[in-house]
Amino acid sequence: MVVALVIIAVIVVVTVVAMISVSNGIVRASNKCDTAWATIDAQLQRRNDLIPNLVETVKGYAAHESATLQSVTDARAAVAKAASPEEKMQASARLTGAVNSLLAVAENYPDLKASANFQQLQAELTDTENRISYARMSYNDCVMMYNNAIQTFPGSLVAGGRAPRQGFSADADARQTPNVQF
């Protein structure tokens, strides 16, 4: 009788410890996703801080390209106003397209391309875009680990109704093959 009670107590203790461990793993995965998102947010802010300088530099050379400049400014404002990660993902994709258009406009102005200020801003923006891309990949990895943790056994038993997270996906325009002409 005593042996049976000890065995039952050990099974209960092991089960409770295992469930606590799984629950803590889910919390760690969730926190890692939050941290990865904060990294993306910091890089988006860095880009938003660089863009006004780039726009002002281009304005001096390309005054009649106001539609492109306005689209960059509008897209930047949309990123700044976005509240949820999903809204920021969409606004960020629009801003990436607008910045690419702005950099393409710069190709038409040899003096602008030769400007040290423009070259520095372009290099910083390229570096920032690379950092954003890396941060997005890291975030998607975190989201995958978190979603796996809450959707697989035994995590699904302990997840407590936690919803899966949404990772970054390519914008529809990014899936199109670019048309390069020489």
Q: What is the pLDDT of residue 182?
A: 35
Q: Is the C-alpha dihedral spanning 103, 105, 106, 107 positive or negative? A: positive
In a domain, 176, yes or no: no
Q: Residue 105 and residue 65: Cα distance in Å, rounded?
A: 8
Between 12 and 160, where is the model more confident? 12
Give the chain's domain count: 1
- 45 occurs within a structural domain: yes
180 assigned to some structural domain? no
Which whole-number Å values give the CA distances from 51 to 40, 56, 137, in the listed order?
16, 9, 23
Whole-prediction pTM value? Answer: 0.74
Residue 163 lies in a domain: no
Q: What is the pLDDT of residue 180?
A: 42
Count of CB atoms situated within 10 Å of the CB of 43 = 21
